Amino acid sequence: MALRMSTPPDDVLAALIAREPLFHRTEFGTSRTDFERMIVEDFWETGASGRRYDRAFVLDELERRYAGGGYEDEWHCEGFRCRALGADTYLLTYTLHQGARVTRRMTLWRRDTDGWRAVYHQGTILQEDV
């Protein structure tokens, strides 16, 4: 039996695009408490290196990164694609340009009573010939 996926409504796509790249949209907050609200309790991510990071590690790193208050980046996202995977659960993929470094990103999002929260995130470095 094949998994049936569907395209989400436009408002869902717009809401998720507004939240990416994950943890780099200051309008959603820059404190540890803000970041805790953005992700589920059992959140984890796989970095571009292939390493797996649990929620505690990610929160510690974000707290360190934003501690000085002046953290900024000039990244560009494009090629957003989104699929509904289940009730209020969506997979968002996109390409992220970080200067010369280009990665494909995916975030698994779930909408609950607290709003949108990330369940999983992954980055994969693109080879030059892709």
Query: Does 56 fall in a domain?
Result: yes
Cis check: omega of the bond before 8, within 30 degrees of 0: no
pLDDT one-digit tens code per residue, 17-67: 999 999 988 889 999 999 999 999 999 999 988 999 999 999 999 999 888
Integer-rounded Cα radius of gyration of the chain: 15
Q: Which domain holds residue 24?
A: 10-67+75-125
How far is residue 118's CA from residue 106's CA, in Å, rounded to a whole number? 10
Q: What is the mean pLDDT of residues 6-12?
A: 81
Query: Quick check: helix, strand or coil at residue 28?
Result: helix
Query: Does 53 fall in a domain?
Result: yes
Query: Does 1 fall in a domain?
Result: no
The number of folded domains in the chain is 1
Q: Quick one: pLDDT at residue 5? A: 54
pLDDT one-digit tens code per residue, 59-118: 999 999 888 776 667 789 999 999 999 999 999 999 999 988 999 999 999 999 989 999
- CA atoms within 13 A of residue 3's CA, in its CB half-sphere: 5
DSSP 127: P
Q: Quick one: pLDDT at residue 1? A: 46
